[in-house]
Amino acid sequence: MGAWFGWLGIILVPLLLLAAIAAVPVRARAQLSRHEGDDNLSLQVKTLFGLLKFNWEIPMMKLGGKGLQVEELARADSPSLLHTESDVKKDIGPSRIAELLQDAWKLLRRTENLTGLVRRLLNKVEISRWTWRTTIGAGDAVWTAMATGAAWSLQTTALGLLSQLCRLNAQPQMEVRPDYRAARLETSFDCIAEIRLGNAILAGLQLLVRMMRTEGGVRLWQNILFKA
């Protein structure tokens, strides 16, 4: 009897440990702000109770002669050995945007049911914060009113699309304020999303299988993602 319980413990303990790890949430927070001409975009992802963290930031975005000039900062941290950091500057023009769209369409067309996989993954995502506040002015009362309506339509459409794809567990906070005194555009966006680590790992394995079945295989994905 004692040996039987011993073998039962050997089997159950790893299973319980895997189940506990699968239930751990992966938390992602996206923030976008534009204030007095300064644009900032950041994404923070953490899991395993903060043991694994990743931060991606665009602290500088400005329009230049060749298009949008972007400075990217990426950092991965953990209390153990993992610590990487990179600083990249890019120029994103119309040709670069067209190239990215073409690459995305290539992956979508060649990968088996990629949209279905993404939709099933998004159905597991829970939104615990959705805050979006915008102040807009066009320097003219009529144009400001039209711009305000367009901005409000954009925000409500984005929220409606999100609620169809994900689980919205938070009370959305949205606001669009017109400024009839001057031409300006300021916005502040903050979103927190969570997914169970087990669901994310399962989706990753399913994607890997589809990548291997794709014409060009994993190398095609590597070439496109590294080029991006």
Please state the rounded mean pLDDT for residues 8-20: 66
| pLDDT score at 81 | 44
Q: How far is CA 46 from the centre of its chain?
A: 13
SS3 state at 192: strand
Q: Calculate the dihedral angle through the C-alpha atoms of 149, 167, 120, 32, rounding to the nearest 10 degrees.
A: 50
How far is residue 25's CA from residue 101's CA, in Å, rounded to a whole number? 31
Which sequence spans correspond to the domains of the chain?
25-92
Q: For residue 200, which of 78, 111, 117, 89 has the smallest C-alpha distance?
A: 117
Inform me whether the pLDDT recorded for 17 exceeds 90. Answer: no
| Crossing angle (nearest 10°) for helices 114-122 and 94-110 | 100
pTM score of the predicted model: 0.74
Tokens representing residue 160 in the block: 């409606």
Classify residue 211 as exposed, middle or buried by CB count within 10 Å of its CB (0-12, 13-18, 19+). Answer: buried
| pLDDT score at 158 | 92
Inform me whether the pLDDT recorded for 180 exceeds 50. Answer: yes
**Which tens digit of pLDDT belongs to each residue from 116-164?**
888 888 999 999 999 999 999 988 888 999 999 999 999 999 999 988 9
* More confident call, 171 vs 65: 171
**Which tens digit of pLDDT belongs to each residue from 29-60?**
999 888 776 778 888 888 887 778 888 777 65
Place of tokens 């949209």: 115
Average pLDDT, the chain: 78
Task: State the Rg of the chain over Cα.
Answer: 22
Q: Which alpha helices (H) appear in the chain, and where do they start and end? A: 2-22, 94-110, 114-122, 141-165, 197-213, 217-227
Tokens representing residue 63 in the block: 């329009």
